[in-house]
Structure 1
């Protein structure tokens, strides 16, 4: 599970969002496997308006890879849309409350669904859980969307001059004959707020996790063009709106990515699928 924690610094913007589990794959909002038809839905789900953000405000998402359970605290609906449809598609047409109203969500299916998910490969689990969230959005919020190709601002993530500054996680030694391969070390990313800005601390993080986080911060798709295939430990510190007047504010996210990760966000305009929100209503208490 990836958890975002804010130290007491006042109210933060809705950019305090990080995602876990099978949703770390930043994908366009189309079926990755056209021949695979997900069917998972939630048997029990509650969506409640979160209390007003206070000094200890935090955003968290828990979605175990081989369980139907999905839980979120203080989650903006815009982020739930991104979880359901992918982080590589700009969202257009949504009312303002989708980005600036926070909700607590608890949803799950039954034990039979959990047993089925446990037997599926990761990519199919991701599609199943996306489907369950899409159905939830349609049933509880009357969500209707369509895809429309528009010329939009996106960012390509490339290696900056001087090379990567993140610490690569060593590949585990091959198993002995007849022994199963050891599981990869779990990925973990924590985000801390301070008067200087935001700090991301990543452990065993693949590039897809990094691009997903950056997409949320720059509010535009970030496409991995680095060619890197490993996992990395890193710390990324960058300023935000509330730290602009702090004389010790951390640099902009664009400068920080270059100086601290050895990567670069290159702005381009391309024709990409946009997720157009035709209708959405606020969920009623349940």
Structure 2
């Protein structure tokens, strides 16, 4: 494993990117389920979540990318609300959440690189089938339900993240991270529909697999390979400071 020497509290904290108002409180012990939302206008609302959940959302990573998990990462659970000083997009709020973790939980991370199995996202043989649009704030790629996602001024990095992102219920579209190597640097409007496998034989599926759908609908390809994956080793974590 190759390790970066630099210890990072948060890149966002270094650049002064932070929520204006933050509340971190113990979750209701009788609460069931969890939720996490980046809301329009620059508001974060997380209910009954662990520090692990916040960390994964802040850096868009999965469980296997977290190393040296200390006590306090998975319990207790918290309700977190935060507001930006002015309207910002989801990408900016992710950076602000990184600052929140560094400030309120004194989280310090060491980034490392480890060779793992991944999917490489590339342009398919016949070229991309994407509608390139002018860049604008707030561009994103979002899951729209089972077997559906859409990009609205979304980048290929955002598509790769969405394909390998994990919801709070533990589900993910793919079983390994996706690395963007398309070479496409614009932003695009697109939609993708496929039939999740869910243990069903290919011959019995009513629609295409995600691999076929990516190729036919977007002109993109997913290929299994070994590649370096960023690992986040936790150096320090404390209970949250008072509001």
Indicate yes or no: 2:156 matched with 1:200. Answer: no
Q: Distance in 1 between matches of 2:7 and 2:220?
A: 28
User: Which string of whole-angstrom CA distances, capped at 9 and with x for unpartnered residues, describes residues 30-73 of structure 1?
Assistant: 98xx9x941244453124548534xxx97532365xxxx44134
Q: Distance in 1 between matches of 2:139 and 2:179?
A: 20
Q: Distance in 2 between matches of 1:62 and 1:186?
A: 11
Match of 2:32 in 1: 52
Indicate yes or no: 2:225 matched with 1:276. Answer: no
Alignment counterpart, residue 139 of structure 2, candidates 150, 167, 187:
187
Contact 1:91/1:274 (CA < 8 Å) preserved in 2?
A: yes
Within 5 Å, which residues of 2 pair with 1:202-241? Answer: 202-216=151-165, 217-218=173-174, 220-240=176-196
Q: Secondary structure at the match of 1:80?
A: helix
1:226, CA displacement in angstroms?
A: 1.5
Indicate yes or no: 2:121 matched with 1:157. Answer: yes
Distance change in 2, residues 1:148/1:229 (3 Å):
closer
Match of 1:81 in 2: 55
Q: Distance in 2 between matches of 1:80 and 1:236?
A: 28
Q: CA RMSD of the aligned region, Å? A: 4.6
Distance change in 2, residues 1:249/1:275 (3 Å):
farther
Contact 1:90/1:220 (CA < 8 Å) preserved in 2?
A: no
Q: How many residues end up aligned between the 2 structures?
A: 220
Q: Secondary structure at the match of 1:84?
A: helix
Which of the pair is proportionally richer in strand?
Answer: 2
Structure 1 gaps, min length 5: 1-28, 172-182
Alignment counterpart, residue 92 of structure 1, candidates 64, 67, 70:
67
Distance change in 2, residues 1:227/1:73 (3 Å):
same
Q: Distance in 2 between matches of 1:200 and 1:102?
A: 30
Indicate yes or no: 2:80 matched with 1:105. Answer: yes
1:235, CA displacement in angstroms?
A: 2.0
Match of 1:72 in 2: 45
Q: Distance in 2 between matches of 1:203 and 1:106?
A: 26
Give the stretch that moved more between structures: 265-274 or 40-49. 40-49
Structure 2 gaps, min length 5: 1-5, 166-172
